[in-house]
Structure 1
Amino acid sequence: MSVHADPLEDVLALVGASSSFSAGLVAGGDWAVSFAPTPAVKFNAVRRGRCLLLVADVTYELNPGDCFLLTRPVAFTLASDLTWPTIPAAVIFAGGTGRAGTGDDVFLLGGRFDFGERARELLLDALPPVVHVPGASPSAATVRWALEQIETEMRERPLGAALVAEHLALVMLIHVLRLHVSLAPPDSGWLAGLADPVVGPALRLLHGEPAYAWTVAELASRASVSRSTMAARFRRVVGQGPLEYLTRWRIELAAARLRRDDGTVAAIARSVGYGSESALSNAFKRLTGLSPRAYRASRTP
């Protein structure tokens, strides 16, 4: 009756992830480059050589194949030696490919991911400020493959290279997030729930059919646990009960359609599991402070 969906895929689709890549950074000898904060999620991968990353007084050693995401708008430094005087990134990237120091023993591929307005609360706040993926990890094989393909597209520039690189980057992002959840699951939140053997199946059911009239008892039965176990574990791991989570997800889906101006409020209400426009309006206003119509007017050009 119910389809098991992928909540991570659902959230990424809802927040409208897009990507872009710069030409990269070539460096050698003694060098240090400082990067200003940016609202986008920054991404870098070490394709050759080794260097250091400094973020908020925490140092990371980056080896060949390593990559990282910066999920907060914070300043950071890439360097061969963090005691070396830094050069602002805006200076060395003024002509395209960034070059620092002398030589070319280090090469980093850099880019960014941009998200819609709900990404911070729905996804980014559930991640640490730095998501570091060691390239040597056997679990990172797909990430390494995607990076190799992206580098080839950016270097050889065949027809459609930019579009192919963007799609590959989104594939890579999903694998980076999967790897992070499996290796270092968050303490709480829906991402933590995905890795939980009881909560994970329930989340997939809720995302698979958000309009269905789920009960805690039915979710528990599907996961082969008691109702009390499901209720307590879901709340402990995710931070809210299963039906509260379902309500919030339905409102997120409705809000996304309202932002797109996709259908009448009554049609949107039915699509997300509410029997009437007034039922959706009550729940929507309780969670957002606005009626669906007022929300649409505030978001539609």
Structure 2
Amino acid sequence: MDTLSCLLDGPKARGAFILKSVFAPPWSLRIEDRAPVSVVTMVRGDAWVLPDHGRPVLLRPGDVALLRGPDAYVIADRPETPVQIVIGPEQRCNTTEGEDVTDSMALGVRAWGDDRQLGSSVMLSGTYQAPSEIGRRLLTALPVLLVRPADAGHHPLVQILAEEIGKDEIGQGLVLDRLLDLLLVGVLRAWLTAPESGAPGWYSAQADPVVGPALRLLHEQPATAWTVASLAHSVGVSRAGLARRFTQLVGEPPMAYLTSWRLSLAADLLREPDATVATVARRVGYGGAFALSAAFKRVRGMSPQHFRKSGAAPATQQFTTTAQTVVLDR
């Protein structure tokens, strides 16, 4: 399995908050829901996305934007339109005067807004409530705002989502989740493969004839008792050569990368209801529950048990990136 497939196997929508919003200009929403990542696309009309940390971008119909939390942002018909509604945690919506309009502005199945006649602005949005820890390695590398234009190939999928979002049939939530995943993966894949897009080093490294095979071994066999020497032997290079090249291309030494990968896998597995710390430890390459707990607490600042109970990413894991806004070529 290639590096991207391994990483994208994690962030699957599970009951994502998916909504069609309909507005008559002027309109402006401030999003403060602190969601890990949201997908936004316009079906009709244009909209400006104004992140708190990043340059504004104009979205046209069919453009797909990924917005990485927890930073807040504004979506409006025009940059100068004053904010009218603030969307907070759990998707509660209040006017700037404090009036709760979450229910009063509902327009039917997964529809919300101020214009029942389908005004000039129709927006689709999907919010991932809690991406898996495997996906978090990818999400932490994302810019605050990433946009793939419609003419890059997404417009048909946007239309399918627009048609499906208002249906209330058996399994409809699952259908919408998978459509959202396809939009997300398409944008991520375009970003990672675009030249000079700011994609992380570990993705580019998979094409390297030495580091690429090493990454695949670490991803596919995390429970193996790897050392730099055994990994170097498996890919046919010297220990020093692998360590130097891996660190140069990936940005961290092989064993540090392996530790991070194992703990990301462990965090994902800990969310399974029947998993124990001991069984998770064995599956990701630790000798027992104590060894995993010590590593988990050292790197993530909390025990596996605490992590499982909290159901949230540890505070020590921060989202950092040098690229704040990336717009792929139109």
Does 2:249 correspond to 1:237? yes
Q: Structure 2: how far apart are the matches of 1:130 and 1:35?
A: 15
Matched residue, 1:99:
114
The worse-fitting range, judged by mean Cα deviation, of 100-109 and 158-167 is: 100-109
Q: 1:31 to 1:191 in 2, by over 3 A?
A: farther
**TM-score in terms of structure 2 length:** 0.71
Letter in 1 for 2:81: W
State the 1:201 CA deviation. Answer: 3.8
Does 2:168 correspond to 1:168? no
Q: Tell me, which stretches of 5 or more residues in structure 2 are unaligned?
A: 87-92, 96-100, 311-330
Matched residue, 1:122:
137
Q: Structure 2: how far apart are the matches of 1:163 and 1:27?
A: 27
State the 1:87 CA deviation. Answer: 2.0
Q: How many residues align?
A: 289
Percent identical residues: 35
Does 2:125 correspond to 1:110? yes
Q: Tell me, which stretches of 5 or more residues in structure 1 are unaligned?
A: none
- Matched-pair contact (CA < 8 Å) for 1:19–1:111: no
State the 1:109 CA deviation. Answer: 0.9
Residues 170-209 of structure 1 show CA distances to partners (whole Å, capped at 9, x for unaligned) of 2322222111111255364544545666544432221111
The structure whose RCO (Cα within 8 Å, separation 6+) is larger is 2
**Larger helix percent:** 1
Q: 1:116 to 1:82 in 2, by over 3 A?
A: closer
- Matched-pair contact (CA < 8 Å) for 1:70–1:130: yes
- Matched-pair contact (CA < 8 Å) for 2:64–2:187: no
State the 1:242 CA deviation. Answer: 1.5
Q: Structure 2: how far apart are the matches of 1:221 and 1:136?
A: 46
Matched residue, 2:281:
269
Matched residue, 1:69:
66
Q: Helix, strand or coil for the counterpart of 2:140?
A: helix
Root mean square deviation, CA, Å: 3.6
1:156-235 matched pairs, under 5 angstroms: 156-183=167-194, 185-186=197-198, 188=200, 190-191=202-203, 193-194=205-206, 199-216=211-228, 219=231, 227-235=239-247
Q: Structure 2: how far apart are the matches of 1:7 and 1:77?
A: 33
Residues 199-244 of structure 1 show CA distances to partners (whole Å, capped at 9, x for unaligned) of 4443222111112244546655776766545322321332211122
Q: Structure 2: how far apart are the matches of 1:156 and 1:135?
A: 24
The worse-fitting range, judged by mean Cα deviation, of 108-117 and 277-286 is: 277-286
Letter in 2 for 1:20: A
- Matched-pair contact (CA < 8 Å) for 1:260–1:300: no
Q: Structure 2: how far apart are the matches of 1:224 and 1:63?
A: 50
The worse-fitting range, judged by mean Cα deviation, of 7-16 and 178-187 is: 7-16
Q: Structure 1: how far apart are the matches of 2:83 and 2:293?
A: 53
1:39-78 matched pairs, under 5 angstroms: 39-40=34-35, 41-56=37-52, 58-78=55-75
Residues 224-278 of structure 1 show CA distances to partners (whole Å, capped at 9, x for unaligned) of 7665453223213322111221122223333443453645555433322345566
Q: Structure 2: how far apart are the matches of 1:165 and 1:88?
A: 26
State the 1:296 CA deviation. Answer: 2.4
